[in-house]
Amino acid sequence: MQYKTILFDLDGTITDSGEGIINSVRYALKKMNLEELNQTELYSFIGPPLDDSFKKLVQLSDHSTELAVSYYREYYQTKGMYENQVYKRIVEVLTALKQAGCNLYIATSKPEIYAKQILAHFDLESYFVGIYGASLDGARSKKADVIRYALKSAKITDLNESLMIGDRSHDIVGAKENGLSCMGVLYGFGDRAELESAGADYIAVTPEEIEEIILKE
């Protein structure tokens, strides 16, 4: 088994968070009297840093982006984070990887405080040695920065034995920027073309394939 340190993305990899994120975005747009986005645009908010998505998809200024993020969190921290569900078979995969001797971590662009609350809500925090995410002030939001922070905080130095797993291109790009191998998953919110073009070393169609790929390496 080559990979003994596994970093997981959260949204679209451990949990299906689409409903809560989309409802939070809609809430923010409505509070700002902005036009509703189509379904494809709304789904684009799942995974990347929130401020980047508001700037790119709604063309907001820095000030308006800060306001949109604050409205988003107004809904998300009370309702949105719980409009969420754990992907089927993920618990079994996490269990198998732990039993095989892997150290598991979370590295997410979601604010760390929310990631910890969500994992506690679903009783998943015990599977992970460390849970690392973005900072609320936006200073640490890009995936490469979150992964770098996770590696440093957890004192992970053997990058050849480390693997990042996520469902969007920024997970793959962030892993590459930190010298990590990376696996894209297709049951989340990205597609094969996005993940392969970003440079994914492995592609898992289902959660079970994560376990199969890691344990056979």
* Type of residue at 124: L
Q: How far is CA 131 from the centre of its chain?
A: 11
Rounded CA gap, 73 and 149, in Å?
A: 23
Residue linked to tokens 């969500």: 118
Phi, then psi, of 216 in degrees rounded to 5: -95, -15
182 strand-pairing partners: 164
Annotated active-site positions, please? Answer: 9
CA distance linking residue 35 with residue 26, whole number of Å: 9
